[in-house]
A and B are shown apart, each in its own frame.
Chain A
Amino acid sequence: MQAIDYLWLIPALPLAGAAVNGVLAYRQAPKPAVTAVALGAPLASLLVAAACIWQYLAGGLYPRAVEQVSYAWTPGTVDGLHINVAFLLDPLAVVMLFIVTFVGFLIHVYSVGYMGHDEGYARYFAYLNLFMAAMLTLVLGNNYLVMFFGWEGVGLCSYLLIGFYYDQEFPPYAGKKAFIVNRIGDCAFLIGMFALVARFGTLDFMPIFHRLATEPRLGMASYAGGLSFAAFVGLCFFIGAIGKSAQIPLYVWLPDAMAGPTPVSALIHAATMVTAGVYMAVRSNVIYQLTPGVSLFVAIIGTATALLAATIGMAQNDIKKVLAYSTVSQLGYMFMAVGVGAYHAALFHVLTHAFFKALLFLGSGSVIHAMGGEQDMQKMGGLKKHLPVTYRTFVVGSLALAGIPVFAGFFSKDEILAAAAASGMPLHWLFWGVGWITAGLTAFYMFRAVYLTFDGTFRGTHEQEHHLHESPPVMTVPLIILAVGAVVAGWIEIPLLHGTQWFHRFLESVVATLPAIGAIQGGAPTGTRELGTPTEAILIVLSVGLALAGILLARSIYGGAGGAERGLAFEERYPALHRLLANKWYVDELYDAIVVRPLHGLSWVFYRVVDVLLVDGSIRAGAAVTRATGDLGSLTTTGNVRNYALYFFLGVLVLFWWIAR
């Protein structure tokens, strides 16, 4: 009996937990029971995952991929299409599995404290477990359809959890917005899958990637719309990722998703769901390597998103919104990495980002919890006295995000920037440059948030001040654990010391090296060049320097006593710019005007004209005709018996004529 045989249990356990909690929610079971199930399922899943990973690594299965088929979904009965419910464990899956189960479990524990007083406690955990099940399905699937199943599942749970407080007006709207915007991406994802099925007759990763890697011409032949096959599929999948991972132009749902409970924001909208797009891209690296054009597009979108989101984050007053835009920005970094072909760097950043972003969100949750629900940083201040653990872990997370050495974010972010600089892609220095500036902005806005929240004097109400207290251990312990991770997680790959590229080597079997694409294409090769050590060192100094400058700038404006007032004065110095950033570059308003209003108009037309006038009208016309005929006919019902006798007689005459003719 091998642990690997129970791979399927990993997503199945949280699914069962969700079902049980659903029933318990309905029956209003006591909290301890719910908690036991809610924590038990992800813990069990984590343990099984750990056992599987252990066996995979220590049992000599690495670096091969292990597949386990659970169920033959379409056993070839339709067009010879074989799609199985099957799971795959390979280095990439190991990394994602670790992130999802570990961070996921910690957040479950945290939620016990955070959601402890909520009426929908059981419902919350049912949804959260369901999310875990879906996310695990996503990362463990061995074919695109199972992945898509998880993809949709996490989208559903995202909707359910964003709209968790359904009795308020905004959360359901935000949930709807998330789901609908995601749908746009999903549509493209489906088209990509269709193309794969049409060309390969299967959706399984291994066969597809193997064929594409050994016969690159398959992928580079022209397919549709002037695009090669790989470009077409890659683009379709990437559009799906744009939706799911909140890139331009489909990122607008993520900031509004902050309407959900904070642990949800931590788990779904920081650590796991939004990184599904990155996972998908890394998984499909063969496809992206075959299409430099689409890869360039990915890099451009990622870079632009990183910059845009960072600018918006600078002007937000809601602490969760700052973190939301920060997430969007960091996701942009990940796609920048994907675009320049540094897939391992992207995944590395996913790993470190999961730790420090979850930490930051949970920390903000702790703050909000202490503030009795207040999320506006302008009303906070001086909390470091009252929330020491939260404060310290939050600072650790911020340092990690800002990319300060020793902390995890530095290593991964630097990896990305180095890869951008080293890449053979056109515009690569532009990518580095924008990434560099964005890093500075990131440090600035993050520490602005830190100082506004924890430094200076308290600006809230008296009741809030009395209510301030550090969170219970059930919430602070996960914070501490994540803080440790936010420091240590980066140490698996230290730049400049090339002997320590463990992570990169770990993923070697996943990222294919395709032979001489450049030669086939006749164009510039897209493989990474090696930067010389001096160059790399200079770049590191530059990025760290700018980050430190950002922190110091933030400190000078927002730090210490009177920081908030100084901050407001600073913001008032550039009113137009500040308004632009605070209003998110009016993108939502733009979408409203370009998309939503015309759609409403179209709907109005369809409603008033087509439905009411034509459809209803024709039916009503039919009814009117029937009624008119009836009215006409009812003229014969005079009630006068003699008339009836006359009709009789006439009928007899007709009958008579008929018979006698």
Chain B
Amino acid sequence: MEMAVFAVFALLALGSSLVVVAHKSPIYSTLSLVLTLFSVAVLFVLLGAPFIATLQLLIYAGAILVLFLFVIMLLNVGREEGIPGGHRAQLVTAILGALAFAAALWLLLIPTLGTGSHAPLTEELVSLSGLAQELFAEYLLPFEIVGLLLLVAVIGATVVARRPTPDELAGGGGGSGFPGEPGSVNALDDAGAADSTAASWAADADRAGGGARPASFPGGTGAGAGPGVAARTAAPGARP
């Protein structure tokens, strides 16, 4: 029974991750990733870590992936054209490299095949209180530090993604600062502006320091960073 469950969800994980990696459309990749996460969560349960599985679903699938979706929609990321990854040679190299890596690791693991804990899972082993006990006793310091890390990440993300103030525009515009004319809060989707392979931007992209900017830029701080931040803080129930 356990084996069956394992088999099913293992294969599901593998398959969906392949889709994540290979699909041209980012939306599909993201949704595939949701599936992967779900499968892995089940595997977590099989391994006796239900709490972790829950966390995975809540945080990973519920918050982070929603963030991804928002950003994808915000930037209107389109399908990738051509071979995902560009040069065929590069593609082949990367894949072969990954395969080689996997093979190497597998070779290391083969001797250990068949071993593994056979102790049955007990209520106590799996319990949340035990985990909490250990977390807040032995690993209290890392816990606090991670909290700090999250705070920093929040601040950082806000600063990086916000719309620059008029001062900054006056002072640092034209260089590597954040461009954009204030005022316009048009919708994100300018015609072809967000297309990652749009040739019309090829000229800009190669110029250091940015070139012509469209009359309206995709959203200000409110629209851009808002969903991200909001999604972060409002943990479950993200808006699509």
- Interface size class on chain B is under 10
> Is B90's beta carbon under 8 Å from chain A?
yes
B90 touches A653 (CB 8 A): no
With A and B bound together, what is the CA distance between A649 and B101 in angstroms? 10
With A649-B97, A653-B101 as given contacts, are A642 and B108 in contact (CB-CB < 8 Å)? no
Q: Which of A569-603 contact B (CB under 8 A)?
A: none
With A and B bound together, what is the CA distance between A653 and B105 in angstroms? 11
| CB-based nearest A residue for B108 | A660
B90 touches A642 (CB 8 A): yes
Distance from A650 Cβ to chain B, minimum over Cβ atoms (Å): 8
What is the interface size of chain A, counting residues whose CB is below 8 A from a CB of the partner?
Answer: 6
With A and B bound together, what is the CA distance between A649 and B100 in angstroms? 12
For residue B101, which residues in chain A have a CB less than 8 angstroms away from its CB? Answer: 649, 653
| CB-based nearest A residue for B90 | A642
Distance from A463 Cβ to chain B, minimum over Cβ atoms (Å): 69
Give the dominant DSSP class at A's interface: helix
| CB-based nearest B residue for A642 | B90
Q: Which of B54-83 contact A (CB under 8 A)?
A: none
Distance from B9 Cβ to chain A, minimum over Cβ atoms (Å): 27
Distance from A643 Cβ to chain B, minimum over Cβ atoms (Å): 9
With A and B bound together, what is the CA distance between A534 and B108 in angstroms? 126
Number of A-B contacts (CB under 8 A): 7
Q: Which of A614-656 contact B (CB under 8 A)?
A: 642, 646, 649, 653, 656
With A and B bound together, what is the CA distance between A448 and B94 in angstroms? 105
Distance from B44 Cβ to chain A, minimum over Cβ atoms (Å): 25
| CB-based nearest A residue for B93 | A646
| CB-based nearest B residue for A652 | B101
For residue B104, which residues in chain A have a CB less than 8 angstroms away from its CB? Answer: 656
Distance from B222 Cβ to chain A, minimum over Cβ atoms (Å): 29
With A and B bound together, what is the CA distance between A646 and B94 in angstroms? 8
For residue A656, which residues in chain B have a CB less than 8 angstroms away from its CB? Answer: 104
With A and B bound together, what is the CA distance between A649 and B96 in angstroms? 13
Distance from A612 Cβ to chain B, minimum over Cβ atoms (Å): 38
| CB-based nearest A residue for B98 | A649
For residue B94, which residues in chain A have a CB less than 8 angstroms away from its CB? Answer: 646
| CB-based nearest B residue for A646 | B94
With A and B bound together, what is the CA distance between A653 and B98 in angstroms? 10
With A and B bound together, what is the CA distance between A660 and B107 in angstroms? 12
With A and B bound together, what is the CA distance between A71 and B147 in angstroms? 74
For residue B90, which residues in chain A have a CB less than 8 angstroms away from its CB? Answer: 642
With A and B bound together, what is the CA distance between A642 and B94 in angstroms? 10
With A and B bound together, what is the CA distance between A660 and B101 in angstroms? 13
For residue A642, which residues in chain B have a CB less than 8 angstroms away from its CB? Answer: 90
With A and B bound together, what is the CA distance between A653 and B108 in angstroms? 14
Q: Which of B16-49 contact A (CB under 8 A)?
A: none
Distance from B176 Cβ to chain A, minimum over Cβ atoms (Å): 14
| CB-based nearest B residue for A649 | B97
Distance from A217 Cβ to chain B, minimum over Cβ atoms (Å): 89
| CB-based nearest A residue for B86 | A642
Distance from A266 Cβ to chain B, minimum over Cβ atoms (Å): 71
| CB-based nearest A residue for B85 | A642
Binary contact track A429-443/B, C-beta < 8 Å → 1, others 0: 000000000000000
Distance from A92 Cβ to chain B, minimum over Cβ atoms (Å): 81
For residue A660, which residues in chain B have a CB less than 8 angstroms away from its CB? Answer: 108
| CB-based nearest B residue for A653 | B101
For residue B108, which residues in chain A have a CB less than 8 angstroms away from its CB? Answer: 660
With A and B bound together, what is the CA distance between A453 and B104 in angstroms? 110
Distance from A153 Cβ to chain B, minimum over Cβ atoms (Å): 62
Q: Which of B101-147 contact A (CB under 8 A)?
A: 101, 104, 108
With A and B bound together, what is the CA distance between A593 and B97 in angstroms? 77
| CB-based nearest B residue for A645 | B94
Q: Which of A260-285 contact B (CB under 8 A)?
A: none
Distance from A164 Cβ to chain B, minimum over Cβ atoms (Å): 57
With A and B bound together, what is the CA distance between A649 and B94 in angstroms? 10
With A and B bound together, what is the CA distance between A409 and B178 in angstroms? 95
| CB-based nearest A residue for B101 | A653
For residue A646, which residues in chain B have a CB less than 8 angstroms away from its CB? Answer: 94
Distance from A636 Cβ to chain B, minimum over Cβ atoms (Å): 16
Distance from B89 Cβ to chain A, minimum over Cβ atoms (Å): 12
With A and B bound together, what is the CA distance between A649 and B108 in angstroms? 19
With A and B bound together, what is the CA distance between A653 and B97 in angstroms? 10
Instruction: List residues of B whose CB falls within 8 A of some A CB.
Output: 90, 94, 97, 101, 104, 108
Instruction: List residues of A whose CB falls within 8 A of some B CB.
Output: 642, 646, 649, 653, 656, 660
Closest 7 CB pairs of A and B: A653-B101, A660-B108, A649-B97, A642-B90, A646-B94, A656-B104, A649-B101
7 residue pairs from A and B, CB less than 8 Å apart: A642-B90, A646-B94, A649-B97, A649-B101, A653-B101, A656-B104, A660-B108
